[in-house]
Structure 1
Amino acid sequence: MANVTIFGKGNMGQAIGKNFEDAGNTVAYIGSETVKDEVTVGEIVVLAVPYPAVSSILADYEEELKGKIIVDITNPVDFDTFDDLVVPADSSAAAVIAKAASDSKVVKGFNTTFAATLATKKVAGEHQTTVLLASDDQEAKEVVTNALNGSDLAVLDAGSLKRARELEALGFLQISLAAAEKISWTGGFGVFH
């Protein structure tokens, strides 16, 4: 069992938290109204906030995040145009976070799933939802995977943190398709193996 802290109380944060709870972990949420001095940060920290909010969280909680596993679920989409990502083409939001929080272990995950597919544990009501994880820290990926064991989600190791670039591109494509109403927010991409 792990203590999981989730920054963000929206649909994604709640759906992710429920999966960790279903697997027997303890989950606490931090929202914009949370008083920092009243917070104990768990060993797994999930950033379930829009990408522009991440830098202030990393700055405000710098000491509390040292040595922790940070799960970055963000898709750094330019929400003004829905036509591009706001990170360099040869980088990723996760790489930017890993550089800023160098004393933490960054894992990219959950960004290729919608909240509805995490809540139902099914893509399009038919196929098991798969969470793809990328990190340069193998042990951190294993800790997150083990913490989700029993959640009824499939978890797949997608490789090093360098793969976050492809995961974010895939997340961006999925969001673009849903925003254009070409797929539903209960749909998305599935992994069959």
Structure 2
Amino acid sequence: MVNITIFGKGNMGQAIGGNFAETGNVVNYITTKTTKQDLGEIIIFAVPYSAVSSIVELYKDVLRGKIIIDITNPVNFETFDNLVVPSDSSAAGIISTLLPESFVIKGFNTNFANTLSTKNVGGEHPTTVLLAGDNEEAKEKVIKTLDGSNLNLLDVGSLKRARELESLGFLQISLAGSDKISWQNGFGLFE
């Protein structure tokens, strides 16, 4: 059993939290109405990218040594035309520089909440969660902690891959936002 702390209790936070709870872990949510509290071993940023800096500022000392899963897609929500991070970086990469003593993993950002809750894409294909990070033990811990969730978890490499994951997440959001794909399904990875 692992203690999981999720910043944000929206659709994504609850869908991700549901998977961790299903596999016997303790899930705690922190919202804007929550007072500062102890954090679990695995921390999930299920908030807009613009909210991450205030979380880091408030919790920086207690985030040391923690596994942090960044699910954000740093989309320019005013124009829906670009990402708001430099083209040679990623939101997860920036977070890792702000928290150098934490183990940052990019994950869940290429999934929609429905595919995480139902564990399938298109009603028939297993949901695949892509994970990128520099610490192999941290990624393995996340994968092991979700063992039995019926999600397919795939290690896609180092944190440098976060840029591609964020671009893929951005494309998926753009297509769903323009009704070209469904928010209920989204992208999948099939073998």
* Superposition TM-score tier, normalisation by shorter sequence: over 0.9
> Do the aligned partners of 1:77 and 1:172 also contact (CA within 8 Å) in 2?
yes
String of CA shifts for 1:109-161, please: whole Å, max 9, x gaps: 00000011111111122211000000000001001001110111000001000
User: Helix, strand or coil for the counterpart of 1:61?
Assistant: helix
> Do the aligned partners of 1:22 and 1:151 also contact (CA within 8 Å) in 2?
yes
The separation in 2 between residues aligned to 1:174 and 1:81, in whole angstroms, is 15
The separation in 1 between residues aligned to 2:176 and 2:124, in whole angstroms, is 18
User: Helix, strand or coil for the counterpart of 1:81?
Assistant: coil
The separation in 2 between residues aligned to 1:106 and 1:123, in whole angstroms, is 26
Q: Which of 46, 49, 53 is residue 48 of structure 1 equivalent to?
A: 46
TM-score, scaled relative to structure 2: 0.99
User: Helix, strand or coil for the counterpart of 1:174?
Assistant: helix
- In structure 2, the residue matched to 1:29 is 29
Where does structure 1 lack aligned partners over 5 or more consecutive residues?
Answer: none
Q: Give 2:27's aligned amino acid.
A: V
> Do the aligned partners of 1:125 and 1:186 also contact (CA within 8 Å) in 2?
no
- In structure 2, the residue matched to 1:73 is 71
- 1:81-100 superposed matches below 5 A: 81-100=79-98
The separation in 2 between residues aligned to 1:182 and 1:192, in whole angstroms, is 20
String of CA shifts for 1:59-96, please: whole Å, max 9, x gaps: 10011111000000000000000000000111000000
- 1:1-193 superposed matches below 5 A: 1-36=1-36, 39-193=37-191
> Do the aligned partners of 1:135 and 1:159 also contact (CA within 8 Å) in 2?
yes
User: Helix, strand or coil for the counterpart of 2:83?
Assistant: coil
CA root-mean-square deviation: 0.6
The separation in 1 between residues aligned to 2:77 and 2:135, in whole angstroms, is 30
User: Helix, strand or coil for the counterpart of 2:130?
Assistant: strand
How many Å apart are 1:189 and its aligned residue? 1.2
User: Helix, strand or coil for the counterpart of 2:184?
Assistant: coil
**Structure 1 runs (4+) greater than 4 angstroms displaced:** none
- Which deviates further from its counterpart, 98-107 or 121-130? 121-130
TM-score, scaled relative to structure 1: 0.98
How many Å apart are 1:174 and its aligned residue? 0.2
Where does structure 2 lack aligned partners over 5 or more consecutive residues?
Answer: none
User: Helix, strand or coil for the counterpart of 2:54?
Assistant: helix
String of CA shifts for 1:11-30, please: whole Å, max 9, x gaps: 00000000001111110000
